[in-house]
């Protein structure tokens, strides 16, 4: 591993405005290290709208920055340290193939991490090579940008660059790539677990104060900062998971190191979208027991938050029984918050503006029919007024129509609400795989076309049936992989 920094690129017109506040945290949380240069850097995909949002001039950017062969002005690269519960088991981790270049300050004053993923070995790489294959990096680009267009908080992808070097994986040599990821931050539940394992109270206090200042500034002066942080993170996670469930998204690897305290979706490894509705749906090749199945995501989120609470206990109250009592009360709020957010989302998907006691039963009866009929999740919600395929659904439609009639809003207003919350287009698994196969062969055309469709997922007036249809092969046995 090189112990030198590549030369900063003098590009005053490119718009780089990097700061390095994370480096001000105690050294236990990071290790200064440069990206490892690659043989033949070549920019493949640049997210120009995101570059503009960040204040970057796309036409003036040095492409070699996106593989780490050079650094933007102000960069102070480091690998972040964190731990995590992976499939329930605790382990120490850290950025084994990622480097944080710094935090870009946008023209509007917002702060975003700029991270290179696949940029070489670090002290946290363990037996890994520190690199990434092109396919998984293109997948993260596609899915993260689709999630953004769907209105779901997410990290985003600024660029994918080829390295000109192969990486060895289970299926043999694959073309290498580096993804430039943009995030509100990369602070995870696992970051707090790392601090708790290290056992230095002052380090944990510094991390709590930093996280509050960065993501919850209104709570920075809270009487009990650690408890306030736990409650705020729980609320954001309840909202995030409800949004996942509303579009049939399955994260696939909800380890605690993949839960960001900012409330953004992070890490798009074995993720996928569900076609036929089934709460037990799992796509990850390594999730053999269904721990992270679609229907388990709310309970797993609460389990992860419990690990955050355990890490924070010494700061919540000096007496452990009282600390546990306060933390438990905060965790118990998650279920109620999630249920309220989920039901609100489902009401919107049904075109309901007001609330009635029977709404939850109305939603669940629809989901039960979808499960029995193996109906497509996305298309069923997008086509609620379509002719009923069977008598059970027709009876449900009648109940639903009667419910709509009891609200003051017009049918046109209800339809507008439904269309704003039921996507016409999602990243269908077979379409993603087609785009990835072409991209790995050098043809980015299918990916560009898919991204163009996914950029306006709620455009129901647009008729592109081949992008709305489920996998014609049925999708049986579809598997996704973590990419490492």
406-435 residue pLDDT tens: 999 999 999 999 999 999 999 999 999 999
Distance CA 407, CA 481 (A): 46
pLDDT in tens, 149-160: 999 999 999 999
- Residue 119, C-beta contacts closer than 8 angstroms, at least 6 positions apart: 35, 36, 67, 68, 97, 98, 99, 130, 178
Task: State percent of the chain over pLDDT 90.
Answer: 91
Element (H, E) at 180: strand 172-183
Distance CA 44, CA 62 (A): 13
Q: For residue 11, what pLDDT band results from cuts at 50, 70 and 90? A: very low
Q: For residue 251, what pLDDT band results from cuts at 50, 70 and 90? A: very high
- 303 by DSSP, 3-state: which? helix
Residue 465 scores a pLDDT above 90: yes
Q: Looking at residues 315-327, what average pLDDT do you find? A: 98
pLDDT of res. 43: 97
Instruction: Count other Cβ atoms within 10 Å, centred on residue 404.
Output: 17
pLDDT of res. 152: 98
- The average confidence (pLDDT) of the chain is 94
Q: Looking at residues 22-35, what average pLDDT do you find? A: 97
Distance CA 164, CA 41 (A): 6
pLDDT of res. 5: 42
Instruction: Count other Cβ atoms within 10 Å, centred on residue 150.
Output: 22
Return the structure tokens found at 286: 């390594």
Q: Looking at residues 20-35, what average pLDDT do you find? A: 97
Catalytic residue among 95, 113, 257, 376: 257
Q: What pTM does this model have?
A: 0.95
Residue 92 scores a pLDDT above 70: yes
Tell me how many degrees the CA angle 291-292-293 measures, rounded to the nearest 5.
100
pLDDT of res. 13: 66
Tell me how many degrees the CA angle 138-140-144 measures, rounded to the nearest 5.
125
Tell me how many degrees the CA angle 121-123-124 measures, rounded to the nearest 5.
85
pLDDT of res. 483: 61
Task: Reply yes or no on whether 257 is catalytic.
Answer: yes
């Amino acid at each position: 591993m090189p112990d030198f920094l590549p030369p900063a690129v003098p590009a005053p017109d490119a718009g780089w405005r990097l700061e390095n506040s994370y480096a001000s945290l105690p050294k236990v949380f990071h290790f200064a290290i440069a990206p490892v240069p690659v043989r033949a850097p070549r920019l493949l995909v640049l997210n120009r709208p995101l570059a503009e949002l960040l204040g970057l001039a796309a036409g003036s950017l040095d492409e070699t920055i996106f593989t780490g062969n050079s650094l933007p002005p102000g960069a102070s690269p480091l690998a972040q340290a964190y731990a995590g519960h992976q499939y329930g088991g605790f382990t120490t981790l850290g950025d084994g193939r990622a480097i944080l270049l710094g935090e870009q300050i946008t023209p509007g004053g917002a702060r975003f991490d700029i991270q290179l993923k696949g940029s070489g070995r670090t002290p946290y790489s363990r037996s890994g090579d520190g690199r990434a294959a092109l396919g998984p990096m293109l997948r993260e680009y596609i899915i993260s940008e689709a999630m953004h267009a769907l209105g779901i908080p997410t990290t985003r992808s600024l660029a994918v660059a080829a390295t000109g070097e192969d990486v060895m994986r289970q299926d043999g040599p694959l073309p290498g790539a580096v993804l430039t990821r943009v995030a509100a931050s990369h602070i995870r539940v696992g970051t707090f677990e790392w601090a708790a394992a290290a056992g230095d109270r002052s380090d944990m206090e510094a991390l709590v104060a930093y996280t509050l200042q960065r993501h919850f500034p209104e709570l920075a002066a809270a009487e009990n900062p650690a408890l306030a942080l736990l409650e705020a993170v729980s609320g954001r996670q309840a909202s995030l998971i409800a949004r996942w469930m509303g579009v049939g998204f399955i994260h696939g690897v909800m380890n605690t190191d993949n839960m960001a305290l900012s409330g953004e979706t992070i890490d798009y490894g074995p993720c996928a979208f569900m076609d036929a509705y089934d709460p037990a749906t799992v796509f990850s090749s390594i999730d053999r027991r269904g721990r992270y199945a679609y229907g388990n995501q709310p309970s797993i989120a609460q389990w992860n938050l419990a690990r955050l609470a355990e890490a924070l206990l010494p700061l919540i109250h000096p007496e452990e029984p009282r600390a546990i009592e306060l933390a438990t009360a905060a965790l118990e709020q998650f279920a109620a918050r999630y249920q309220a957010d989920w039901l609100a989302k489902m009401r919107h998907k049904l075109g309901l503006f007001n609330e009635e006691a029977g709404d939850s039963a109305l939603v669940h009866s629809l989901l039960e029919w979808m499960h029995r009929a193996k109906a497509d999740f996305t298309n069923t919600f997008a086509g609620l007024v379509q002719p009923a395929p069977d008598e059970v659904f027709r009876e449900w439609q009648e109940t639903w129509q009667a419910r709509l009639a009891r609200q003051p809003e017009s049918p046109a207003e209800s339809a507008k609400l439904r269309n704003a919350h039921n996507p016409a287009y999602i990243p269908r698994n077979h379409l993603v795989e087609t785009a990835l196969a072409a991209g790995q062969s050098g043809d980015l055309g299918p990916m560009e076309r898919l991204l163009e469709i996914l950029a306006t997922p709620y455009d129901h007036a647009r008729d592109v049936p081949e992008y709305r249809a489920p996998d014609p092969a049925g999708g049986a046995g579809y598997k996704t992989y973590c990419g490492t």
